[in-house]
Structures are given as C-alpha cells and as structure tokens.
Amino acid sequence: MVILYLPYPPSINNYWIASGKRRFISQRGRQFKEDVAEYVVEWRVPKFGDKPVWVDIILRPATKRLMDVDNCIKPILDALQDAGVFDNDVQVQWVRIERGIPKKGGACVVMVGTMEEYTSSEGI
C-alpha cells in the first residue's frame, strides 16, 4: 500500500472543457495531472503495473462549503494512471471516498493498494 498527499483535485464539472464538438481537459485539470506526476517522481511512488487495485480517498476541501465528493474521483484516477501508479484505471476494483476536515488551500490523501494485499489482510 502507498499513501499520497496530493493537492485538491478539480471537480469533474470543471475538469473538462467543451469547444464545439471537441472536449479537452481544462488548464486546472492539466495542472493537477502535472502536480501528481511530479509528486510521484519526487517521492518515488511505487508502481502497481497491471495488478487489480483499491483506492481510498480523503478529500480536504479548502472550505466547509458542501460539494459532491464523487465529482473528484475521475480526475484523481486519471492523474494516477497518467503518472504511472497503475497502468489503467479499469484495474481499480473499488474506491472509497470521504470528506475530511477542511484544510487551507485544500488537499487530498490517496491510498492505493493491491487487491491481493486487501484480501489477505481482511481474511476474505
């Protein structure tokens, strides 16, 4: 299992931008992906390759304002995939997400582990 301390992700509502019939990732989305990639390299985050994985996310929004926590899942998974933490986000077998205590500037804590580790530790 690995624990990553990442910046707060963009919501899927402002992750994609449409221009005519084209859709592309917003500047904020590209910046988040870049930040995650730099974090993965700097902290030498281990890679899971093509193994089935689980992902546990704690969002720490900048304010107490209510938001839909599920809108942050896709940008996080895409960024982890692009950074090489796992090969493809179809490997994710389950995701748990929760709203944590607000933090100035926002942040998120992401834990990733293999399903093999999970099932052996849970006795399933």
pLDDT at 124: 47
**Angle in degrees, 0-180, between the axes of helices 27-42 and 73-82, rounded to the nearest 10:** 50
Which residue range is the domain that position 27 belongs to?
2-122
pLDDT at 32: 98
| Structural domain count of the chain | 1
Beta-bridge mates of residue 113: 54
Pairing type for strands 22-25 and 92-99 reads unpaired
pTM for this entry: 0.92
pLDDT at 66: 86
pLDDT values of the chain reduced to their tens digit, one per residue, 124 residues? 999 999 999 999 899 998 899 999 999 999 999 999 999 999 999 999 999 999 999 999 999 998 899 999 999 999 999 999 999 999 999 999 999 999 999 999 999 999 998 776 655 4
pLDDT at 67: 86
Count CB atoms within 10 A of the CB of residue 105.
Answer: 10
Say how far apart CA 12 and CA 52 lie, in whole Å: 24
CATH number at residue 53: 3.30.1330.70
